[in-house]
Amino acid sequence: MFSKACEYGIRAMMYIAQKSKEGERVGIKEISKSIDSPEPFMAKILQDLSRKGLVLSIKGPHGGFYMDTGRDKISLAEVVTAIDGNELFTGCGLGLKACNENKPCPIHYEFKAIRIKLKTMLETTYVEEFSESLNKKLIHLKRA
Domain of 41 in residue numbering reads as 4-135
Kindly state whether residue 142 falls inside one of the protein's structural domains: no
Check whether 143 has a pLDDT greater than 80: no
- Cβ-in-10-Å burial (0-12, 13-18, 19+) of 61 comes to exposed
Read off the pLDDT of each residue in 65-69 and give the average, rounded to a whole number: 88
What pLDDT, on a 0 to 100 scale, did the predictor assign at position 129? 85
Closest by Cα among 121, 125, 135 to 15: 135
How many domains does the chain contain in total? Answer: 1
The CA–CA distances, whole Å, from 140 to 85, 91, 120 equal: 26, 30, 23
Q: What is the mean pLDDT of the chain?
A: 90
Kindly state whether residue 141 falls inside one of the protein's structural domains: no
Kindly state whether residue 144 falls inside one of the protein's structural domains: no
Kindly state whether residue 54 falls inside one of the protein's structural domains: yes
What pLDDT, on a 0 to 100 scale, did the predictor assign at position 144? 61
- Would you place residue 72 in the very low, low, confident or very high pLDDT band (cuts 50, 70, 90)? low
β-pair partners for 58: 64
Q: Write the CATH number for 9.
A: 1.10.10.10
Report whether 19 contacts 66 (CB < 8 A).
yes
What pLDDT, on a 0 to 100 scale, did the predictor assign at position 99? 92
Check whether 71 has a pLDDT greater than 70: no
What pLDDT, on a 0 to 100 scale, did the predictor assign at position 104? 95
- C-alpha–C-alpha distance, residues 54 and 52, integer Å: 6
Kindly state whether residue 102 falls inside one of the protein's structural domains: yes
- Whether the CA torsion 4, 52, 118, 141 is positive or negative: it is positive
Please report, rounded to a whole number, the percentage of residues in the chain having pLDDT higher than 70. Answer: 97
What pLDDT, on a 0 to 100 scale, did the predictor assign at position 57? 93
Read off the pLDDT of each residue in 70-89 and give the average, rounded to a whole number: 89
pLDDT digits (tens, 9 = 90+) for 92-140: 999 898 999 999 999 999 999 999 999 999 999 999 888 777 877 778 7
Kindly state whether residue 114 falls inside one of the protein's structural domains: yes
